[in-house]
Structure 1
Amino acid sequence: MAVAFTGTALIMRVTRNNMLEELGKNYVVTLRAKGLPERVIIWKHVFRNALHPLVSIFGQVLAFLINGFAITSIVLNLPTIQTIYLQATLRQDVFLASTILVMIAITVVVGNLISDVLLAWIDPRIRYE
Protein backbone atom coordinates (compact mmCIF):
# COMPACT_ATOMS: atom_id res chain seq x y z
CA MET A 1 0.00 0.00 0.00
CA ALA A 2 2.91 2.36 0.69
CA VAL A 3 4.14 1.99 -2.89
CA ALA A 4 0.66 2.40 -4.35
CA PHE A 5 -0.09 5.52 -2.31
CA THR A 6 3.07 7.20 -3.54
CA GLY A 7 2.16 6.55 -7.17
CA THR A 8 -1.37 7.76 -6.49
CA ALA A 9 -0.08 10.95 -4.91
CA LEU A 10 2.02 11.69 -8.00
CA ILE A 11 -0.92 11.11 -10.32
CA MET A 12 -3.20 13.28 -8.19
CA ARG A 13 -0.69 16.14 -8.09
CA VAL A 14 -0.11 16.07 -11.85
CA THR A 15 -3.85 15.87 -12.55
CA ARG A 16 -4.60 18.81 -10.25
CA ASN A 17 -1.88 20.97 -11.79
CA ASN A 18 -3.00 20.16 -15.33
CA MET A 19 -6.64 20.87 -14.52
CA LEU A 20 -5.78 24.24 -12.94
CA GLU A 21 -3.64 25.15 -15.94
CA GLU A 22 -6.38 24.22 -18.42
CA LEU A 23 -9.07 26.07 -16.44
CA GLY A 24 -7.18 29.31 -16.94
CA LYS A 25 -7.10 29.12 -20.73
CA ASN A 26 -9.16 31.22 -23.14
CA TYR A 27 -11.31 28.41 -24.53
CA VAL A 28 -12.74 27.78 -21.05
CA VAL A 29 -13.79 31.43 -20.80
CA THR A 30 -15.41 31.10 -24.23
CA LEU A 31 -17.28 27.95 -23.21
CA ARG A 32 -18.54 29.64 -20.05
CA ALA A 33 -19.63 32.67 -22.10
CA LYS A 34 -21.63 30.36 -24.38
CA GLY A 35 -23.55 29.20 -21.32
CA LEU A 36 -22.41 25.59 -21.07
CA PRO A 37 -22.86 23.93 -17.69
CA GLU A 38 -19.71 23.76 -15.56
CA ARG A 39 -19.94 19.95 -15.46
CA VAL A 40 -19.79 19.73 -19.24
CA ILE A 41 -16.93 22.21 -19.44
CA ILE A 42 -14.84 20.34 -16.90
CA TRP A 43 -15.44 16.73 -17.96
CA LYS A 44 -15.86 17.06 -21.71
CA HIS A 45 -13.31 19.75 -22.51
CA VAL A 46 -10.89 20.52 -19.67
CA PHE A 47 -10.32 16.99 -18.37
CA ARG A 48 -9.73 15.59 -21.84
CA ASN A 49 -7.05 18.19 -22.51
CA ALA A 50 -5.52 17.70 -19.07
CA LEU A 51 -5.09 13.96 -19.71
CA HIS A 52 -2.14 14.32 -22.09
CA PRO A 53 0.60 14.95 -19.50
CA LEU A 54 -1.02 12.44 -17.17
CA VAL A 55 -0.88 9.68 -19.76
CA SER A 56 2.69 10.66 -20.60
CA ILE A 57 3.86 9.98 -17.03
CA PHE A 58 1.74 6.83 -16.79
CA GLY A 59 4.56 4.71 -18.19
CA GLN A 60 6.96 5.92 -15.55
CA VAL A 61 4.44 5.36 -12.76
CA LEU A 62 3.69 1.87 -14.05
CA ALA A 63 7.34 0.87 -14.00
CA PHE A 64 7.68 2.57 -10.62
CA LEU A 65 4.83 0.50 -9.15
CA ILE A 66 6.01 -2.78 -10.66
CA ASN A 67 9.57 -2.41 -9.43
CA GLY A 68 8.56 -1.10 -6.02
CA PHE A 69 10.68 0.71 -3.51
CA ALA A 70 14.04 -0.45 -2.30
CA ILE A 71 13.80 1.32 1.05
CA THR A 72 10.22 0.22 1.75
CA SER A 73 10.94 -3.40 0.97
CA ILE A 74 14.14 -3.42 3.01
CA VAL A 75 12.56 -1.77 6.06
CA LEU A 76 9.51 -4.02 5.96
CA ASN A 77 11.66 -7.07 5.12
CA LEU A 78 9.59 -7.92 2.08
CA PRO A 79 10.86 -10.40 -0.51
CA THR A 80 10.72 -8.03 -3.48
CA ILE A 81 12.95 -7.60 -6.49
CA GLN A 82 14.66 -4.62 -4.89
CA THR A 83 15.85 -6.58 -1.85
CA ILE A 84 17.15 -9.32 -4.13
CA TYR A 85 18.92 -6.66 -6.20
CA LEU A 86 20.48 -5.14 -3.09
CA GLN A 87 21.68 -8.54 -1.87
CA ALA A 88 23.09 -9.36 -5.29
CA THR A 89 24.94 -6.05 -5.36
CA LEU A 90 26.37 -6.58 -1.89
CA ARG A 91 27.48 -10.11 -2.81
CA GLN A 92 28.87 -8.76 -6.11
CA ASP A 93 26.73 -11.19 -8.09
CA VAL A 94 27.09 -9.47 -11.45
CA PHE A 95 24.82 -11.83 -13.38
CA LEU A 96 21.84 -11.54 -11.04
CA ALA A 97 22.24 -7.78 -10.65
CA SER A 98 22.48 -7.20 -14.40
CA THR A 99 19.47 -9.48 -15.01
CA ILE A 100 17.40 -7.45 -12.58
CA LEU A 101 18.55 -4.19 -14.20
CA VAL A 102 17.53 -5.53 -17.62
CA MET A 103 14.12 -6.49 -16.22
CA ILE A 104 13.68 -2.98 -14.80
CA ALA A 105 14.69 -1.48 -18.15
CA ILE A 106 12.17 -3.69 -19.96
CA THR A 107 9.36 -2.58 -17.63
CA VAL A 108 10.27 1.06 -18.28
CA VAL A 109 10.23 0.50 -22.05
CA VAL A 110 6.92 -1.39 -21.91
CA GLY A 111 5.41 1.31 -19.68
CA ASN A 112 6.48 4.03 -22.12
CA LEU A 113 5.09 2.01 -25.03
CA ILE A 114 1.75 1.63 -23.24
CA SER A 115 1.64 5.35 -22.48
CA ASP A 116 2.41 6.23 -26.13
CA VAL A 117 -0.35 3.92 -27.39
CA LEU A 118 -2.82 5.36 -24.86
CA LEU A 119 -1.87 8.90 -25.86
CA ALA A 120 -2.50 8.12 -29.53
CA TRP A 121 -5.81 6.49 -28.61
CA ILE A 122 -6.98 9.43 -26.48
CA ASP A 123 -6.01 12.16 -28.94
CA PRO A 124 -6.74 11.39 -32.61
CA ARG A 125 -4.56 14.35 -33.67
CA ILE A 126 -1.43 12.41 -32.66
CA ARG A 127 -0.04 10.26 -35.45
CA TYR A 128 3.14 8.21 -35.39
CA GLU A 129 4.76 7.85 -38.80
Structure 2
Amino acid sequence: MKPFISLSTYGVINWLAVALLWGSPFAFGYYKVGGSALFLPLLFGWMQFIMAVFSNNKHGFFKQFPMEMHLFLDVVIGSFLLLSPFMYGFYTKEFWPQVLIGGLIFIAGAFTHKSPFTDRYRRHLPEGQLQGTDSE
Protein backbone atom coordinates (compact mmCIF):
# COMPACT_ATOMS: atom_id res chain seq x y z
CA MET A 1 0.00 0.00 0.00
CA LYS A 2 1.21 3.48 -0.80
CA PRO A 3 1.83 5.99 1.97
CA PHE A 4 -0.89 8.65 1.98
CA ILE A 5 0.18 10.95 4.84
CA SER A 6 2.64 13.73 4.01
CA LEU A 7 5.48 14.61 6.36
CA SER A 8 3.93 18.01 7.05
CA THR A 9 0.61 16.44 8.03
CA TYR A 10 2.46 13.87 10.10
CA GLY A 11 4.17 16.64 12.10
CA VAL A 12 0.77 18.02 13.09
CA ILE A 13 -0.50 14.52 13.95
CA ASN A 14 2.60 13.93 16.06
CA TRP A 15 2.11 17.07 18.15
CA LEU A 16 -1.60 16.24 18.47
CA ALA A 17 -0.66 12.76 19.73
CA VAL A 18 1.63 14.32 22.35
CA ALA A 19 -1.21 16.49 23.65
CA LEU A 20 -3.68 13.59 23.61
CA LEU A 21 -1.32 11.24 25.41
CA TRP A 22 -0.52 13.77 28.13
CA GLY A 23 -4.11 14.86 28.64
CA SER A 24 -6.06 11.63 28.13
CA PRO A 25 -5.71 10.17 31.66
CA PHE A 26 -7.10 13.35 33.16
CA ALA A 27 -9.65 14.22 30.47
CA PHE A 28 -11.20 10.75 30.42
CA GLY A 29 -10.83 10.12 34.15
CA TYR A 30 -8.81 6.93 34.09
CA TYR A 31 -6.07 8.44 36.22
CA LYS A 32 -8.14 6.98 39.10
CA VAL A 33 -7.40 3.50 37.79
CA GLY A 34 -3.69 4.20 38.33
CA GLY A 35 -0.86 1.86 37.50
CA SER A 36 -0.17 1.25 33.84
CA ALA A 37 -3.40 2.99 32.77
CA LEU A 38 -1.88 6.24 34.00
CA PHE A 39 1.82 5.54 33.51
CA LEU A 40 1.88 4.34 29.87
CA PRO A 41 0.16 7.33 28.22
CA LEU A 42 2.38 9.73 30.15
CA LEU A 43 5.53 7.76 29.30
CA PHE A 44 4.66 7.45 25.62
CA GLY A 45 3.64 11.11 25.57
CA TRP A 46 7.12 12.08 26.75
CA MET A 47 8.70 9.75 24.18
CA GLN A 48 6.59 11.30 21.42
CA PHE A 49 7.50 14.79 22.65
CA ILE A 50 11.24 14.09 22.59
CA MET A 51 11.00 12.51 19.15
CA ALA A 52 8.88 15.43 17.86
CA VAL A 53 11.38 18.03 19.08
CA PHE A 54 14.38 16.26 17.51
CA SER A 55 12.57 14.96 14.41
CA ASN A 56 13.90 15.72 10.94
CA ASN A 57 10.68 17.15 9.46
CA LYS A 58 9.04 20.55 9.03
CA HIS A 59 7.67 20.65 12.60
CA GLY A 60 10.81 19.44 14.40
CA PHE A 61 13.05 21.95 16.12
CA PHE A 62 16.52 20.39 16.03
CA LYS A 63 16.15 18.05 12.99
CA GLN A 64 18.56 15.36 14.21
CA PHE A 65 16.37 12.26 14.50
CA PRO A 66 15.82 10.38 11.19
CA MET A 67 12.20 10.10 10.10
CA GLU A 68 12.53 6.40 9.27
CA MET A 69 13.47 5.64 12.87
CA HIS A 70 10.76 7.92 14.22
CA LEU A 71 8.08 6.24 12.11
CA PHE A 72 9.30 2.77 13.06
CA LEU A 73 9.13 3.66 16.76
CA ASP A 74 5.64 5.11 16.23
CA VAL A 75 4.43 1.78 14.88
CA VAL A 76 5.95 -0.03 17.87
CA ILE A 77 4.56 2.48 20.39
CA GLY A 78 1.14 2.53 18.72
CA SER A 79 0.81 -1.25 18.68
CA PHE A 80 1.91 -1.48 22.31
CA LEU A 81 -0.58 1.22 23.31
CA LEU A 82 -3.31 -0.60 21.37
CA LEU A 83 -2.69 -3.82 23.27
CA SER A 84 -1.81 -2.43 26.71
CA PRO A 85 -5.35 -2.44 28.20
CA PHE A 86 -5.60 -6.14 27.43
CA MET A 87 -2.04 -7.01 28.47
CA TYR A 88 -2.28 -5.23 31.82
CA GLY A 89 -5.91 -6.10 32.54
CA PHE A 90 -7.53 -2.70 32.90
CA TYR A 91 -9.77 -3.15 29.84
CA THR A 92 -12.79 -3.63 32.13
CA LYS A 93 -12.41 -0.09 33.49
CA GLU A 94 -11.18 2.08 30.60
CA PHE A 95 -9.69 1.13 27.25
CA TRP A 96 -11.17 3.20 24.40
CA PRO A 97 -8.91 6.26 24.74
CA GLN A 98 -5.72 4.20 24.68
CA VAL A 99 -6.94 2.01 21.82
CA LEU A 100 -7.93 5.04 19.71
CA ILE A 101 -4.76 7.03 20.40
CA GLY A 102 -2.62 3.92 19.85
CA GLY A 103 -4.41 3.30 16.55
CA LEU A 104 -3.81 6.90 15.48
CA ILE A 105 -0.09 6.63 16.24
CA PHE A 106 0.16 3.22 14.55
CA ILE A 107 -1.57 4.37 11.35
CA ALA A 108 0.40 7.61 11.23
CA GLY A 109 3.68 5.73 11.63
CA ALA A 110 2.86 3.07 9.07
CA PHE A 111 1.35 5.18 6.29
CA THR A 112 3.53 8.30 6.23
CA HIS A 113 5.99 9.00 3.43
CA LYS A 114 9.50 7.72 4.30
CA SER A 115 7.98 4.99 6.49
CA PRO A 116 10.05 1.79 6.43
CA PHE A 117 6.82 -0.20 6.16
CA THR A 118 5.41 1.36 3.00
CA ASP A 119 8.33 3.02 1.18
CA ARG A 120 10.64 1.23 -1.20
CA TYR A 121 13.92 -0.03 0.13
CA ARG A 122 16.74 2.41 -0.48
CA ARG A 123 20.28 1.15 -0.92
CA HIS A 124 22.53 2.26 1.90
CA LEU A 125 26.23 2.68 1.72
CA PRO A 126 28.42 0.18 3.56
CA GLU A 127 30.04 2.71 5.91
CA GLY A 128 27.80 2.11 8.92
CA GLN A 129 24.59 2.73 6.97
CA LEU A 130 25.50 6.39 6.55
CA GLN A 131 25.10 8.35 3.36
CA GLY A 132 27.53 11.05 2.40
CA THR A 133 28.77 12.90 -0.63
CA ASP A 134 32.34 11.65 -0.41
CA SER A 135 31.76 7.89 -0.26
CA GLU A 136 30.96 7.11 -3.89
TM-score, with normalisation over the residues of structure 1?
0.28
Q: Which structure has more helix as a fraction of its residues? A: 1
Structure whose alpha-carbon radius of gyration is higher? 1
